[in-house]
Structure formats: C-alpha cells, structure tokens
Amino acid sequence: MRKSALSDEILLSIEKPARYIGNEVNSVMKDPEQVDIRFAMCFPDVYEIGMSHLGIQILYHMFNERPDVWCERVYSPWPDLDARMRKDNIPLFALESQDPIRAFDFLGITIQFEMCYTNILQVLELSGIPLEASERTEEDPIVIGGGPCVYNPEPIAEFFDIFYIGEGETVYDQLFDVYKKNKAEGKSRREFLEAACQIPGIYVPMFYDAEYQEDGTLHSFTRNYEKAPEVIEKQVLMDVTHAPYPKAPVVPFIKATQDRVVLEIQRGCIRGCRFCQAGMIYRPTRERDVEELKKWADTMLKTTGYEEISLSSLSSSDYSKLPELINYLMEICPERGVNISLPSLRIDAFSLDVMKKVQDIKKSSLTFAPEAGSQRMRNVINKGLTEEDILEGAGKAFEGGWNKVKLYFMLGLPTETEEDIKGIAHLSEKIAERYYEIPKDQRNGKCQITASSSFFIPKPFTPFQWAPMNRKEEFLEKARIVKAEVRAMLNQKSIRYNYHEADISMLEGVLARGDRRTAKVVLQAYRNGALFDSWSEYFRPEAWEKAFEETGIDPDFYTVRERSVDELLPWDFINAGVSKKFLIREWEQAKAETVTPNCRQRCSGCGAKCYGGGVCFEGQD
C-alpha cells in the first residue's frame, strides 16, 4: 500500500486532500533504490493550477523515460496545509513517493509568472532548504529554475543554483549525465555547478557579479568564475515533431484548471506583437507534423480517458494544417463522447463553421483580442488585427446566430493618448451597432459585449523592454475614462467593461524587469506574509508596500522609468535568439507607428534564423 506523508487526521481536516496524495492515473512509481537521480518537479502554485501546465507533463514523462531518473511532482501547499505543516514541522514532500523534497538530488521549479515568486520561497522553506543558494550544503538538492520568467532570472537569482534558459527538451540529458558523473566521483556541489555551467543554456548565478552605477542602473555584469560563459545561449528544440511528448499524461482526480487532453500543435508565433514576450522568446515558429499530431491525439484520448481535447499554441489560426487537424478531430471525437474545445481562433468562415459544429452557439461567445482600441495604437503594438477584420468577423458570427462577444484590451501602452483609450469604447459600440443592423426578427435578442482590459507591463526581450510603465493612479484613471466613454455610447446597455487589478500589475512590472537587488523585496515581502500573490483573495499589497519601505527599494525605478537603449539591462547576458539590434529597430518602428510584416510575409531579420529551422526556412527545402 502507498504511504502518506500526512496523517489521516490532517488529510481529513484540510481542503481537497486529493491535492497531496498522488496515485493519479499515469503517475509514475519507481523503486528509489534502482535510480541514480531523484528529481522533484515543482510548479509553485496550487495543485489544480500546476497540474494544468503542459511543460511539466512533458518533462515529467521525458525524465521518467530514463531508467536512472525518477521524476516526481510537488506543488505549493494551500494556506490551510501550509499553516499545519509549519505548526507540526512536517517537511514538504513529493506526491509520488511522499518522501521529503530535501532528500532529492534536484528540485526543479517552473516559473511561469512573476507573481509566484513568494511561493518559490514557500516551497524552499517548507522543504527545509536554505532560501539562498550560497547557504546550501552538500545535503541540499540542486535548485534549478526554468520557464519564461527565467529570461530575466535576476530578481530571484540568489534563490537558485541553476537556471535553465530555453526549452527543457534539449539539454537536461546532458545535465543529468554530468550530475551522475560528479556524484560517482564523489565530487562536491561546487564542482558540479562548475561542470554544469559548461553546458549550453545553463546559467549558474553565483558565478556572476552585478555592479551598479550611482544612478542605480547596472554598471557591469561580470564572471567571478573564469570558465563560466559570458553569454548564456537560449536552447531551442528544432525538431518539434520527433520530440518527447507525454503520450500518457497524468490525469488528476480533482478538476484541474486545464482538465483535458492538450495537443501542442506548434511553438512560437509568426506575428511579432511588440508587447508579447512569448512571441519573441519562443522564436522561430515551428510546426508539428499533422499526421503525427493526429496519432498523438488518438493515443492520448485512449491513455487518459479524457472527455475533452484542446489545441495549444500561441496562435492556432496560423498553424498551416489547422483545417485538416480539426476535421480529423471532428471525425474521431463525437463517437467517443469527446468534446473539442477550440482555442481562440481568428474569426473567419472556417472557424465559424467549426464552432457551429462543436459548440452550442447560444452558450458560446466570440473572442477577439484587438489589444488596443484605435488603429494607431494597434500599429504601435504591431497587432495586425484591423477594425474591418473585427467588424466583418463579428458580422458573420452575428448572422450565424451568435450574440456574445468578448474583447481583450490593454491600457497603458507606449505613446497611448486619450483618443486611443476611448477607442476601446468606440470599437465596442461599433460591434454592437453591427449587431443591431440585423433585422429584429432574425437576431437572437440583445447582444452582450464584454470588453476587458489589463494593464500593460513591459517585459524583457520585447521591443517594449525600454518603455516606461504607467503608475497605478494613471492606470485607474485610464480605466475610468474607458468606463465613462462606454456609458456615453448609444448601445451602452449591451456593453460591459471590466479591468484587471492595478496593484498586482505594478508589482509584476517591478519583478519582470528587476535586477538582483529586487530579490531583497521578494524575500522581505514573503517574511511579511505575502504568498499566493496571484490569488486576489490572498494578495496582500501591504506586505509588499512594507517590504519596499524596509529594503529601501524604489519600485518606480523599475516601472515608470524610461530606459535608454544604451543602458546595460539585467538580462543582457542572455541570448534569446532575437537580437538587440532587432528589438531596437522594432522599438523605433513602434514609435513611428509602423507595422512590421509577420514572419510568413517577410523575414524581419530578428536573429532567430540562426537556429536553422522553423518558419525561417519554410518552403526552402
């Protein structure tokens, strides 16, 4: 029988004990005596969020394919269990073996969003691992971080031994081999890190020192271990078709946020929206072979028993074989009682036809992401979607029976004017007007347009990495303008407007472009009780405000300051594929309100061609 790290009494006194017992379908059990490396894979948020993440499932299955590695999972204990574990001194454990994390060789943490940074500290502390890498001993696991946030790892650099820059499928095997050799030779932790940093994409923060100028900007970023590489090269998986993929993903007992088979059809995005970090760091766009994807879909439905399948990518409509793939799914799914959940597709004749077949029109809504209200602003951010596209798509959909539309916008974009802001209301109004052009007897009651705005946060490795971010007050004022303008519209009763929280956006802004000094704020905020910051019911702005005061760190320095393109940025030591020259060019193009064509229309020379594949070489073989 499986053992449990928690007593029955504890498991019955907390919410959703299924978060902590493991034993799920397709989870992997091994004999610890038969493996050389024990790896704990962590998503620093609650189980239901962590279990929805595809990246972990990919690496979990890839690692466990190796007979010498046992990869297990661990998530953030929810506050109820967190309190109990601290009170009773129960160490954090992995789901599969229920063994304490501290006894593992590696603790791998995937870092998907900035607001999980305090949860990283929770995981380390509950595991009994010193928070700072410099204080860890031979008894502690190697703490390794990966995921999109590590494209600027500096605000959490001191908590990690290693960052893995790039896609996980590439150099983990090498890293494990180096680790095994080091262990077999009885060498130290330091010796392992020295060997590890020779592997491309592996960044060992303690081998580098940052110095700052008087004005607070970065003066230099230098190596203190001479063999550490000067530049860390992002690792990219070029053959995405013949790559590890979880053909039998772990199926949770309780409902996860993403509770379905997920088919990742491609990586990267051809669009080049200037605010979008994913669109830059996952370049070049690489499509998976459609025949292979069909087989995967079939296999995964069989191995999991899921009742739903969805496609995953940054922009599914750009996948060249999308109609073929969807037609195949529509052939095999209904007879098995499986629903097809469509990602946000570009609204056109094809997607409307598909949606009609797989969704209940009365219940479903159309989604558009214009991101900005005016065409001028959309040119600045390089969002190719025009007002004409939106009105035409919405019109076709309205005629097809839909009456609900969701619109996503951002406020606080560079060069934004009051007219751009009001454009959100104006565009919503035009869509409503388009709906009421349909004769009354042919339409389906009133239309419901929901416009949502989030606040723009500049991210590293985007053309907006130099841009100033708005202050909280400016954000709220802009949201107020939108609200008032919506109310002034003729069809205001058909338009609903809501916006994202400004406090969290400000913090995310600090952490996204922070430097090594920002780590002090993260640590202090955690000490002040900050945890589960991305959960509005747990977010404690006062814990962070106090932390900024106590550490003397000025958030404005990281958010509202416009950076010069000559400034040495904390993440400049990483080569993410897109060159700085390209980013500067795009920043200039943005200010000139000029659109850059997408990768299939014309190569913009971003630098990602150096990887030798993907969209950069399409039609050339």
Residues that bind another protein (CB under 8 A): 1-2, 4, 8-9, 11-12, 17-18, 21-25, 251, 253-255, 301-307, 334, 336-337, 339, 358-360
Nearest approach in angstroms of CB 42 to another protein is: 21
User: What are 507's two structure tokens?
Assistant: 């913090």
- Give the C-alpha separation, 443 to 373, whole Å: 26
What is the closest distance, in whole angstroms, from the C-beta atom of residue 335 to another protein in the complex? Answer: 9
Closest CA to 160 of 168, 150, 170, 151: 150
3-state class (DSSP) for residue 211? strand
Q: How many H-runs (helices) and E-runs (strands) does the chain carry? A: 20, 19
What ranges make up the beta strands (E) of 521-595?
574-575
Helix ranges, 89-229 (H): 117-127, 172-184, 189-196
Query: Position 3: which residue type?
Result: K
Residue 422 contacts residue 485 (beta carbons within 8 Å): yes
What length is written for the chain? 621
Candidates 194, 210, 293, 327; CA nearest to 573 is: 210
Backbone angles phi, psi at 144, to 5 degrees: -125, 135
Residue among 215, 150, 51 at smallest CA distance from 461 = 150
Q: Which helix (H) or strand (E) holds 591?
A: helix 580-591
Shortest distance (Å) from residue 535 CB to another protein: 22
Q: Which is nearer to another protein, 9 or 230 (CB)?
A: 9
Dihedrals phi, psi of 324, to nearest 5 degrees = -60, -45
Separation CA 38–CA 141 (nearest Å): 9
What is the Cα–Cα distance from 120 to 138, expressed in whole angstroms? Answer: 21
Decide whether 78 or 203 has the Cβ nearer to another protein. Answer: 78
Spatial contact of 307 and 340, defined as CB atoms under 8 Å apart: no
Q: How near is the Cβ of 123 to another protein at its closest, in Å?
A: 22
Cis preceding-peptide flag for 32 (omega within 30 of 0): no
Nearer to another protein, 219 or 336 (CB): 336
Residue 254 or 349: which CB sits closer to another protein?
254
| Distance in angstroms between the alpha carbons of the first and the last residue of the chain | 55
Cβ distance to another protein smaller for residue 186 or 337 = 337
- Which residue's CB is nearer to another protein, number 360 or number 566? 360
Shortest distance, position 305 Cβ to another protein, whole Å: 3
Minimum CB–partner distance for residue 260 and another protein (Å): 11
In the complex, what is the shortest distance from the CB of residue 306 to another protein, in angstroms, rounded to a whole number? 7
**How is residue 325 written in tokens?**
């793939």
Rounded to the nearest 5 degrees, what angle is found at the Cα of 248, between the Cα atoms of 246 and 249? 65
CA torsion sign for 605, 606, 612, 613 is negative
**Three-state DSSP class for residue 341:** strand
Rounded least distance, CB 360 to another protein, Å: 4
Q: Please, what is the minimum distance in Å from the beta carbon of residue 610 to another protein?
A: 44
Cα separation, 461 vs 606, in Å, equals: 11
CA-nearest of 328, 269, 259 to 293 is 328
Please identify, using beta-carbon distances, which residue of 358 and 476 lies nearer to another protein: 358
Residue among 303 and 444 whose Cβ is closer to another protein: 303
CA angle, 123 as apex, 119 and 125 as ends, to 5°? 110
How far, in Å, CA of 34 to CA of 169, rounded? 24
* Residue 75, C-beta contacts closer than 8 angstroms, at least 6 positions apart: 19, 42, 43, 44, 45, 46, 47, 49, 50, 51, 95
Residue with smaller CB distance to another protein, 183 or 362: 362
- Helix 502-512 × helix 472-487 angle, to 10°: 140
Residue 329 or 385 with smaller CB distance to another protein: 329
350 Cβ neighbours under 8 A, 6+ residues apart: 323
**Which is nearer to another protein, 25 or 349 (by Cβ)?**
25
CA distance 212 to 225: 20
Q: Closest separation between CB of residue 340 and another protein, Å? A: 11
Choice between 308 and 550, CB closer to another protein: 308
Is the Cβ of residue 306 or residue 456 nearer to another protein in the bound state?
Answer: 306
Q: How far is CA 67 from CA 25, 62, 63, 167, 577, in A?
A: 20, 11, 9, 22, 33
Q: Which is nearer to another protein, 98 or 320 (CB)?
A: 98
- Tokens representing 610? 């150096």
Give 25 or 488: the residue with its C-beta nearer to another protein.
25
Q: How far is the CB of 541 from another protein (least distance, A)?
A: 35
Closest by CA to 264, choosing from 236, 297, 305, 301, is 297
